[in-house]
Structure 1
Amino acid sequence: MSTSHGAEAVEAVEGAAGHAAHEAADATLHGGGDAPSRLVEILGRAGLLAYGAVHLLIAGLGLRLALGSRPAEVDQQGAVAAVAAVGVGGLLLLVLFVAGLVAFAAWQITAAVAGFRWVSGGERFRKRVGATAKAIAVLAVAIAATRTVLGAPTNGRAGPQKLVAWLLELPGGALLVGAVAVTVMIVAGTMVYTGLARTFMGDLVDEPPEWARRAAVVLGAAGNLARAVAFGAVGVLFAIAALRGDPSRVGGLDAALRELVSRWQGVTPLVAVSLGLGAFGIYCVLDARYRRSY
């Protein structure tokens, strides 16, 4: 009888252990939140760190430009090139960057389709639109990093100029370019709202440490407003290209920041935007640590 009970106890323990292992494996594969899997969530948080690092590098390049240096490109490509310049270690780091950024993009695409279940109505719609924009942004950085790793030639202005040139050849091309400009400016407007209303705090866990909450409020607000200015400047360049029918007028972040310097006849706006982008980079570190996963 005792032998039978002992065997039953062993079977019960083995069954409980098997069930726990199954639940752990299921949690790892499927997760419990907006991320399509726990692995994607872990890599996605690493991608957020990479995204933050890119913003910090862009901020540094912007400050160098403000101080009189002439970095090749003050944008994602310039930041990627700075990492690649380290050598083999830099290229390996870029490979990790790409993996994390793609995972974070997958996380955001999933959230855009069916995420942000803790809010409803217009707020959920706005967050899903924001997730879509963020997925596109991080994929752009991932593509730039991939091209650098593969040794492909890059030109920060070539991409937008080719797009505008192609659109202008289509019927109603100027209107299409204008629509791109309006879309970019709408994105910039949502960033202004996000920064002022501090809605980004809703993406974090309910009760982060007080120091982290205060830092996130300041850094997130400053970062989103700086990004809004940068996106708005890009939108203006697209609008000018649409009005003049001239693809050479358009450009990405690098062209927009340099335009700020030339238009304002000074570096103050560039310094302010660069510091704001740096603040957003630090915010990404907090976001990676305290981001809500469900």
Structure 2
Amino acid sequence: MSGVLRRFARARADAQRATRVPWLRVVARSGYIASGLLRLLIGVLALLLAAGLDDAPEVNAASAFGLLRAAPAGGVLVAIAAGANGALALWLVVQGVLYRPPALLERWRQRIVYWSRSAVYVVIGLIALRVAIGARQSSVDADRAAGRRLLEVPGGSVVLLLLGLTVLSIGVGMVWVAIVRRFVGTIHLPEAPWARRAVVVLGIVGYAVQGVTIAVVGGFLAVAAVTSDAARTGGLNDALVAVAGSGLGRGFLVVVAVGWAVAGAYALLRARLARLD
């Protein structure tokens, strides 16, 4: 057992040294740039949806990367975004391993946060990779079909319910982060008072709006599992359309669009301000 512990200690020391390599830090920060760009594009898609255009793209990550791919050298840009998300995911895994506060409960709580965020960036990176290589973008109809197949499998509704509750809890958690300003501890705030206030406001708005929309998606998935309604498994696009049609109208979509754009601006700033130690 002592040999295993020694090997683990050496691996941890190697990981700590790796996190101090300047170019690796640059690669990790590039993930926040890619994340910010994705959020900005989702804001644009939500705004197009609010405009009521018949040919408006679906509001999801694949459509956002599809917009980027349509730009000059877009395929290369999307491929870079895929790699940047993967690099940030790996960095977060390492950070979770290295995080060792005295309190055991706090250690594992924060590790779960690190690794959950890593999983999100892995998924985003895979979506970007599919778009970069020209794979068919997943549509809302495809998401519904997948949800329908899951509901038809024994125990599938339970899996979908757990997924919905997990997504809902992530959204609620992001709103809580905005309320208590927990994100401030993950960045180096600028020295100028006006700049500090601006960064904090961007963070609050970005986390809050993202949290609300993600919670709505989770709620729809949970309801789909309870009611066996595959029509509610279309993801973010379906959730936004349904909520907007429930009486909140296009104003809700505009708020979502602006909020995601603000979240994108904050993520771009975070690429410079994030604590990587």
TM-score (norm 1): 0.80
Selected match of 1:104 from 73, 84, 88 = 88
> Which residue of structure 2 lines up, in the alignment, with residue 83 of structure 1?
68
Selected match of 1:58 from 42, 51, 58 = 42
> Which residue of structure 2 lines up, in the alignment, with residue 219 of structure 1?
202
CA shift, 1:206, in A, is 6.3
Selected match of 1:145 from 128, 135, 138 = 128
Selected match of 1:272 from 242, 252, 255 = 255
CA shift, 1:118, in A, is 7.1
Q: Kindly tell me: are residues 198 and 121 of structure 1, through their superposed partners in 2, closer, same or farther at Cα, counting changes over 3 Å?
A: farther
Structure 1 SS opposite 2:249: coil
Q: Give the length in aligned residue pairs.
A: 263
Structure 1 unaligned spans of 5+: 1-25
After superposition, the C-alpha distances for 1:15-68 in whole angstroms (9 at most, x for unaligned) are xxxxxxxxxxx9997133xxxx54332112111111101101111111122122
Structure 2 unaligned spans of 5+: 1-13
8 Å CA contact retained: 1:84, 1:90: yes
> Which residue of structure 2 lines up, in the alignment, with residue 254 of structure 1?
237
8 Å CA contact retained: 1:219, 1:282: yes
After superposition, the C-alpha distances for 1:171-201 in whole angstroms (9 at most, x for unaligned) are 3332222111111111111111101001001
Structure 2 SS opposite 1:69: coil
8 Å CA contact retained: 1:156, 1:254: no
CA shift, 1:242, in A, is 0.7
Q: Name the CA distance, whole Å, in 2 between partners of 1:125 and 1:27.
A: 18
207-216 or 278-287, which moves further after superposition? Answer: 207-216
Letter in 2 for 1:230: T
Letter in 2 for 1:210: P
> Which residue of structure 2 lines up, in the alignment, with residue 74 of structure 1?
59
- Pairing 1:210–2:210 present: no
Structural RMSD (CA): 2.6
Selected match of 2:19 from 31, 51, 67 = 31
TM-score (norm 2): 0.84
Structure 2 SS opposite 1:266: helix
- Pairing 1:199–2:182 present: yes
| Structure exhibiting the larger radius of gyration computed from Cα positions | 1
> Which residue of structure 1 lines up, in the alignment, with residue 169 of structure 2?
186
Q: Name the CA distance, whole Å, in 2 between partners of 1:119 and 1:199.
A: 20
